[in-house]
Amino acid sequence: MAPAARARPGPAGPGGRRPGPGAGRLARHGPGRPGHGCRAGQGPAHRGAGAWRGEPYADLPDEVARAERARLHETRTTAIELREAIRLHLGDAVEASRRLEPLVLEEPYRERLHLLQAVALVQAGRQVEAMALLRQLRTTLREDLGIDPGPAVAALETAVLQGRLEGGRPRPSTDVRVVLVDDHPVFRMGMSGLLSSLEGLEVAAVVGDADAARAAVDESVDVVLMDLDLGGDSGIDLTAELTAQYPDLQVLVMTMHDEDSFVRAALAAGAAGYLVKSAEPDDVHRAIRAVAAGELVVGAQVARAARSHLGGAHRGRP
C-alpha cells in the first residue's frame, strides 16, 4: 500500500470538506489579545452566519442546485469559523467551543475547523478533549481519504503538550510548593538548587525514596517532581498512590526514560506531565507552573507517545 499523501491546502470541495488554508497561522499563534478590529468584525460575521435559513434550493433537483448549494454551505461555514474565531479572541472560549461542536460533526474532514475547535477546548481548560479531537481528525483523514493532515495539526498537538498554548485556567498567583523525589543524590542537589532559584516556586522537601515522599507530601503540596527509578520502588506506582490520596496534587515526571511504554504508564497512573532530565531550566519552570494550574505538559521527546495515550484514553471513556 502506498504511503498516505500529505494534505494540501486548497479550495474546499462540496460541503467544505477539505483541509482549509490558514490553519497554520492559528496553530502557531493561537488566540491573540482582543482588539478593536475583532470587535468591529464581530457584527458582520454574526450577521453572515445568522443569515442561514436552512438547506438552500431545497425545492430544486440536485443536479441543478448542487454546485450553488455547495458554495453556500462553504460561505456559511466560513462565516461561522470567523465568528467563533473572533469570539475566541475576545475571551469566550467556552461559548466558542459549544457553538463549534455541532459544526465539527458536520464537517469531519475540515482541518481548519478542527484546529479552531481544538484551540477553543484548550482555552476552556479541556486539553485532553482537544488532543482527542486532533487525533480523530488524523484517523478520519487517513482512513476515509488516504491523506495525512497538514503540519499545523502536529504543531498544535506539540504546542498543547508542551504548555505553549495558554490554557483557560488561571496560573497560580502564589508560590507553587514542590516536593522533589529522586534517588540520585547529585541530581537532587542540582535540581533543588535550580528550583530554589526559580521565581514563584517553593521547595517544600527534597527526598530520595518512596517512604520519604509519602511523609513529605500533604495537602499543602502543589506539585511532586517525580523520578521513575526510586531504588527498589517504582515512581509510577508512587504516582498512582499519591494522586489517589491527594486528588488536587499534580505529579510532573522527570526521568531519563523516553520510551513510549514509560510515558503511557506514567500518564495512566495520573501524572500531569512528563519531562526527560535533559530538559532546559526554562522548560522545567514552565512545566511546573503549568501542571500546578491544571494543565498537561509533555516534553517534545515524548510527545508522540503522549498523543497516542490521550487519544486512546479519551475514546475509552463512557
Residue 91's domain is classified under what CATH number? 1.25.40.10
Domain stops at, among 137, 161, 185: 161
168 found inside a domain: no
Strand partners, 179: 205, 224
Give the pLDDT mean for 190-200. 85
Which structural domain range is residue 311 located in? 176-315
| Same domain? 156 vs 180 | no
169 found inside a domain: no
| Same domain? 100 vs 11 | yes
| Same domain? 74 vs 121 | yes
pLDDT(41) > 50 = no
293 found inside a domain: yes
86 found inside a domain: yes
Confidence of residue 62 (pLDDT cuts 50, 70, 90): low
| Same domain? 129 vs 195 | no
171 found inside a domain: no
| Same domain? 77 vs 138 | yes
Backbone phi, psi, residue 149, to 5°: -70, 165
Per DSSP, 143 falls in state I
Give the pLDDT mean for 187-201. 86
| Same domain? 35 vs 113 | yes
Confidence of residue 199 (pLDDT cuts 50, 70, 90): confident
Domain stops at, among 161, 194, 212: 161
| Same domain? 70 vs 95 | yes
187 found inside a domain: yes
Identify the pLDDT of residue 123: 85
Q: Are 38 and 82 in contact (CB under 8 A)?
A: no
Identify the pLDDT of residue 281: 85
Comparison of pLDDT for 104 and 55, the residue scoring more: 104
Domain stops at, among 107, 135, 161: 161
pLDDT tens per residue, range 92-101 = 889 989 999 9
Give the pLDDT mean for 84-113. 88
pLDDT tens per residue, range 129-184 = 888 999 899 999 999 999 988 888 887 887 777 766 655 455 555 789 999 999 98
What is the pLDDT of the chain when averaged over all its residues? 76
Q: Residue 232 and residue 299: Cα distance in Å, rounded?
A: 26
Residues near 78 by beta carbon (within 8 Å), at least 6 away in sequence: 16
275 found inside a domain: yes
pLDDT(125) > 90 = no
Give the total number of structural domains in the chain. Answer: 2
Give the pLDDT mean for 237-246. 96
The upper half-sphere exposure of residue 222, i.e. CA atoms within 13 Å in the direction of its Cβ, equals: 21
Per-position b or e across 117-145, b if 16+ CB within 10 A of its CB:
bbbbbbbbbbbbbbbbbbbbbbeebeeeb
- Strand stretches in the chain, DSSP E: 5-6, 147-148, 176-181, 201-207, 223-226, 229-230, 233-234, 250-255, 273-276, 297-298
| Same domain? 270 vs 135 | no
| Same domain? 41 vs 10 | yes
| Same domain? 46 vs 12 | yes
Three-state DSSP state, 206: strand
Q: Residue 27 and residue 29: Cα distance in Å, rounded?
A: 6
Share of the chain above pLDDT 70, in %: 70
Confidence of residue 269 (pLDDT cuts 50, 70, 90): very high
Identify the pLDDT of residue 69: 72
Q: Are 72 and 108 in contact (CB under 8 A)?
A: no
Q: Find cell 488554508 and name the residue.
A: 21
Identify the pLDDT of residue 82: 80
| Same domain? 78 vs 129 | yes
Backbone phi, psi, residue 7, to 5°: -65, 135
Give the pLDDT mean for 267-292. 88
36 found inside a domain: yes
Backbone phi, psi, residue 250, to 5°: -110, 130
| Same domain? 190 vs 112 | no
Confidence of residue 55 (pLDDT cuts 50, 70, 90): low
